[in-house]
Structure 1
C-alpha cells in the first residue's frame, strides 16, 4: 500500500471524519497541517488544485476530500485501493 497523505487543519470536522474512516481501515496517514505551514498549503494547492481540506492522497493518486473518500468506501473502492 502507498503512503496515505492527509492535508488538514486543526478545526476541520471533515478532517476528523477522514482520519476516523482511515483508522477504521487500519491506516495511519501522514498528516500535514496546512494552517501551520504556508509552504505545505502551497504544496497542497499545487498537488490537488483545491483549496479545501482535507485533501487525501494515496501515494501520488489524489482521492479528493472526505466526501470522495467516503463515496469510494461505500462503493468498495477504498478497500480495493488499500489492498492493491
Structure 2
C-alpha cells in the first residue's frame, strides 16, 4: 500500500511546485490541499503543522515540514523508509 502523503499548498508557491516535482520524480503520489482556496484548511494546516508557510508535507501522519525539510530528510536517508511504512 502506498504511503499517505498530504501536501498543503497554494497556487503561486514555487516551493510547492518544487516539492510536487520532487515527489513526482520518485513516483510518489500525494493528496494536495489548497489552503489559498479554503481558509478552514489553512487553519487546520497551521494547527497541525505549527507553521504558516507552504508547502507543509505530511507522510503517514508524520510532519516532514516544507520542501527544504523534505530534501534534507531525503539526503539523510530518512525519506524512503518513511514512504515505505504502512500508513
TM range (shorter): over 0.9
3-state DSSP of counterpart to 2:51:
coil
**Structure 1 unaligned blocks of 5 or more:** none
**RMSD value over aligned CA atoms?**
1.0
**Deviation larger for 3-12 or 22-31:** 22-31
**Structure 2 unaligned blocks of 5 or more:** none
- Equivalent in the alignment of 2:38: 37
**TM-score of the superposition, structure 1-length normalised?**
0.94
Provide the C-alpha distance between the structure 1 equivalents of 2:84 and 2:29, rounded to a whole number of angstroms.
15
- Equivalent in the alignment of 1:13: 14
How many residue pairs end up in the alignment?
84
- Flag as ranges the 4+ runs of structure 1 deviating above 4 A: none
**Deviation larger for 72-81 or 32-41:** 72-81
- Equivalent in the alignment of 2:62: 61
